[in-house]
Amino acid sequence: MSLDPDLSEATFTDLIRYGDRPAILTAGGVLSYRELAARVDDVVVRLGAERRLVLLAARNDVDTLVAYLAAISAGHPLLLVPADKPAAVDSLVAAYEPDVVLRTSDGALELDERWPGTRHDLHPDLALLLSTSGSTGSPKLVRLSRRNLEENARSIAQYLGIGPDDRAATTLPFSYCYGLSVVNSYLLQGAGLVLTDLSVVDPCFWDVFRERGATSFAAVPYSFDLLDRVGFADMDLPNLRYVTQAGGRLAPEKVRSWAETGQRRGWDLFVMYGATEATARMAYLPPDLAAEYPGTIGVPVPGGSFRIDPVDGLPHGELVYTGPNVMLGYAESLEDLALGRTIDELRTGDLARRNANGLYEVVGRKSRFVKIAGLRVDLGQVEQILSGMGVAAAATGSDDDGLVIAVEGEHDTALLTKVLVSDLGLPRASVRLHAAERLPRLPTGKIDYPAVRGLAAPKTAPPAPEDPRRESLADVPRIFAECLDRPDVTPTDTFVSLDGDSLSYVALSVRLEAALGRLPADWHLQTVGELSRRGKPRRRGLVSFLEPSIVLRAVATICIVAAHVELFTFHTAHLLFVVAGFNFARFQLTGTRSARLRRHARSLTKIVVPSVAFIAVAYLLTDDYSIANIFLLNGMVGPQEVTSEWHFWFVEMLVYVLIAVTALLAVPWLDRLERRAPFAFALGLVAITLLSRYDIVDPGLPKPLPVFWLFALGWAVARADGTVRRLLVSALAVLTVPGFFDHPLREATIVVGLLLLTWVPALPVPSVLRRVTGWLAAASLYIYLTHWLVYPVLLPISPVLAVVGCLPVGVGYWALCRWLPIAFARWRRRTGSAGSAMKAPTA
């Protein structure tokens, strides 16, 4: 598709021409081009008529987009900086002294006019200032003109065939040239932007993607690792037309694999090559050639051209790009803002060749050479040698320090070093390999080579904090790794993507609260990196705040034990089924259907295994239980009258419910229905289970379906993402719970607990009890299991002692059940490593 002739002179800020077409689509609504234009005009007025230097701390939100378009359309040179890097914002404010600083906060645009008018000499062609790749916060900026932006947007729109019905999901930051090019090219064509700051590993991202009919998204190389993790290749995305890739080299085998996946699934893969200095794109690989020529960058974008200049001493020349999107030049100080064009072509620094088919191929980097022991070493070649051995690696170094190489995953670094030394002809002492769980990456997904070089610096492991309350921002990745037993935690991971569940949620949230202060309600969907960048916690006072689900689990557990000891009677067991449904919807309904089913199976295992193990011990030590108890079948085949064999009814019913919902969501069309309409699905589940609540249907079982109804109510609470929906769920609870138990206090307890989950983000807890509350909540299942054997021993002494004594025993069993799998896995790794070492050939 070529550009519409009527749009050949159009610009991406000419919004009003598209009238009522949808411009911005979010999870919460749609903004037309006419409405967007009106908001842009309002900000233009606020910025004033005099041309000034504007700094925008950018987020992926509507207000940032409005501010960007206002500054560009009004001719104010704009310095775009990521808002989540306050140090970078401060550094650039100090270096360039902007006249105006714009920030977005709580759905509003804040305009900080640092002085009236301008104090700068600004060249008339200057439109935008962006940091170069990997230099966020550095005074060195790329100077771009309005023509650079418009020509690159036209070029991209032409080769991607963007039409007015296309909709792109904003998967990359606006402050990144690649992410910004998506915005410009889509607005130019009157297409839609599905605006979100969610990660592709967040299931909510794909919900928004489907609901808003997105047809494309942009990815960097690392994105494909995340897409693989969430099962993207098997997702049902009926509107997806193409995926674009840039921001670094994607390995040829991955290009071929994803291109073939796209061919099977009905979408195209556009591999692209570019740089901030070229406003974004210089080349693209036509999708029909991607599987056949996956190692190439393709052909120049429309309007651009390449040539290859010889480089002395090297077999391949340097790739040089010419086109209307080449930057004006660099700015390294405030005075450079007065400069006009200082370059006419872009020397990329990449070594390249042009193949017989006319496709260009980058074969190395002109600057990525080091001289070691008199030998010239190509760092790209080092990475390719290791890649050929199936090892992902990043190589850097210097003439003085030799090679420093990071390899991803567990490998025999001594053997790899031996291979490299032999192939490269280098002294053994000049090559240092370091194994890493993940290669260090920048926020754009590119390799962080300074971090790789830092691996060679001597390190001393920081001591573990003596007091968990001293945990700090730097401890966030370690807290995730320890609580989830995941040594592979990366800055882009979330609690959900790491397969966290309700059992690990409590321990993790309590420790994070100690490190970060009060947590946002959606912290489990925020990345480790985002949590690590939160501000320092305020000094803790006498009161802390914890999520209602945590407090309710802890309090309900104590009340259950106290009721059985007959210290006081306050029935709370059924409230825990509401909490269970709430947590199930939050943590278990993520990823593909197969990933969900694996997560459900793991969750069931964490309940069934410790329960069966303990009940088996109880069966051997007492005469109170039967074989049916061990296999959690008493609810099915046990006596109808209440005896000691009903002690574990709660565990049995929870397992029955989880098995039922797992079977339900294993049905493909039901799984798809839940994804497309999560709240409606939850309400439908409530409606079905109410048939048992009102005895319209008799399932022939004593308790599961009434419990299922409460579980479904908790599920609906988790999916109620707006005031109207919360009011609806609250009304359902108020109308359906009273009268069921013929016990007003028990019914009031369930209703109040549900309302707390629905409306209250955090509950106050005395600071001295914060960690204890977390322990009790995390160990609630284990306390319930063990208290049946503990309290009869202590009750003759004192009812209070009987209650208090049950709690540490349950916590201890919880800690044991957490430790055993970790210890077993470590033992397996040690024995596996030892076995591999014994089999390794000797030198």
Q: What is the pLDDT of residue 516?
A: 76
Sequence-distant (≥ 6) Cβ neighbours of residue 320 within 8 angstroms? 306, 307, 308, 309, 345, 346, 347, 348
Write down the pLDDT at residue 421: 79
Cα–Cα distance for residue pair 89/85, rounded to 1 Å: 7
Distance CA 324, CA 75 (A): 19
Instruction: Tell me what pLDDT residue 467 has.
Output: 40
Which residues lie closer than 8 Å to 17 by C-beta, 6 or more apart?
10, 33, 190
Collapsing DSSP to helix, strand or coil, 49 comes out as coil
Reported residue count of the chain is 843
pLDDT attached to residue 604: 92
Residue of 323, 14, 2 whose CA lies nearest to 188:
14
Q: How far apart are CA 481 and CA 472, in angstroms?
A: 15
Q: What is the pLDDT of residue 761?
A: 83
Residue 825's pLDDT is what?
65
The rounded Cα 350 to chain-centroid distance in angstroms is: 32
According to CATH, what is the number of the domain 5-362?
A: 3.40.50.12780
Give dist(CA 776, CA 559) in Å, integer: 12
Plot region of 400 (φ>0 → left; ψ -120 to 50 → alpha; else → beta): alpha
| Torsion, CA 242, CA 243, CA 249, CA 252, rounded to 10 | -60
The secondary structure element, H or E, covering residue 794 is: helix 780-794
Q: In whole angstroms, what is the distance from residue 28 CA to residue 326 CA?
A: 38
Q: List the end-to-end C-alpha distance of the chain, in Å, as a whole number.
A: 60
Which H, E and C letters describe 556-607, residue by residue?
Answer: HHHHHHHHHHCCCCCCCHHHHHHHHHHHHHHHCCCCCHHHHHHHHHHHHHHH
Burial group, residue 666, by CB count within 10 angstroms (0-12, 13-18, 19+): middle
Residue 173: closest CA among 149, 150, 197, 189? 197
Q: Are strands 100-105 and 54-58 parallel, antiparallel or unpaired?
A: parallel
Q: In what order do the strands lie in the sheet with 126-131?
A: 108-113, 100-105, 54-58, 78-82, 126-131, 141-145, 329-331
SS3 363: strand
The 10s digit of each residue's pLDDT in 330-368 is 998 999 999 999 999 999 988 899 999 999 999 877 777
Selection from 155, 184, 152, 154 nearest residue 168 by Cα: 184
Q: What is the number of other CB atoms lying within 10 angstroms of the CB of residue 69?
A: 24
Amino acid at 690: L
Distance between CA atoms of residues 176 and 89, nearest Å: 14
Q: Where are the beta strands (DSSP E) in 44-99?
A: 54-58, 78-82
Check residue 838 and give its pLDDT.
37
Torsion of CA 426, 428, 431, 433, to 10 degrees: 140
Return the amino acid letter for 51.
R
CB-CB contact of 347 with 320 (8 Å) = yes
Pair 579, 754: CB distance under 8 Å: no
HSE-up (13 A, CA, CB side) for residue 583? 27
pLDDT along the chain (843 residues), means of 10: 51 93 93 96 94 95 96 96 84 90 88 90 96 68 96 96 96 91 96 92 89 94 85 92 91 93 95 94 96 95 96 86 97 93 93 94 78 69 83 78 83 83 74 84 73 64 39 69 71 70 71 75 71 60 82 95 90 93 85 74 91 95 94 87 90 93 91 86 93 71 65 94 90 92 90 94 87 90 96 94 95 90 69 43 32
Burial class of residue 468 in the structure, from the number of CB atoms within 10 Å of its CB (0-12 exposed, 13-18 middle, 19+ buried): middle
CA distances from 298 to 154, 224, 271, 365, 810 (A): 18, 20, 8, 17, 63
125 and 340 Cβ atoms separated by less than 8 Å: yes
Token pair, residue 536, equals 């320092």
Integer Cα distance of 732 and 709 in angstroms: 11
Contacts of 514 (CB under 8 A, 6+ apart): 468, 469, 471, 770, 771
pLDDT at 676 (0 to 100): 79
Beta carbons within 8 Å of 775's beta carbon, 6+ residues apart: 811, 814
Question: 165 to each of 23, 205, 237, 440, 509, how far by Cα in Å?
Answer: 10, 20, 16, 38, 43
Residue 694 and residue 701 in contact, taking contact as beta carbons nearer than 8 Å: no
* Domain spanning 368-454, CATH class: alpha beta
The full set of domain ranges for the chain reads 5-362, 368-454, 468-540, 548-764+783-820
DSSP state of 784: H
Over its C-alpha atoms, the chain yields an Rg (Å, rounded) of 30
Strand-pair partners of 218 = 244
Task: Write out the H or E segment, with its range, that includes residue 395.
Answer: strand 393-398
Q: What are phi and psi of 361, to 5 degrees?
A: -135, 125
Task: Return the CATH class of domain 468-540.
Answer: mainly alpha
Cβ atoms within 10 Å of 791's Cβ, excluding its own? 22
For residue 154, give the nearest of 345, 304, 285, 328 by alpha carbon: 304
Give the pLDDT score at 831: 63
pLDDT digits over 409-444, tens only? 878 888 888 888 777 767 777 788 888 878 887 766
Q: Which amino acid is at 48?
A: G
Whether 53 and 118 have beta carbons less than 8 Å apart is answered as yes
Spatial contact of 510 and 774, defined as CB atoms under 8 Å apart: yes
Residue 142 β-bridge partners: 130, 330
Give the three-class secondary structure for 418: helix
Predicted pLDDT at 487: 64
Q: What's the pTM value of the predicted model, to 2 decimals? A: 0.54
Amino acid at 610: P
Q: How far apart are CA 730 and CA 725, in angstroms?
A: 9
Q: Strand, coil or helix: what is 3?
A: coil
At which residue do the structure tokens 């009869």 appear? 792
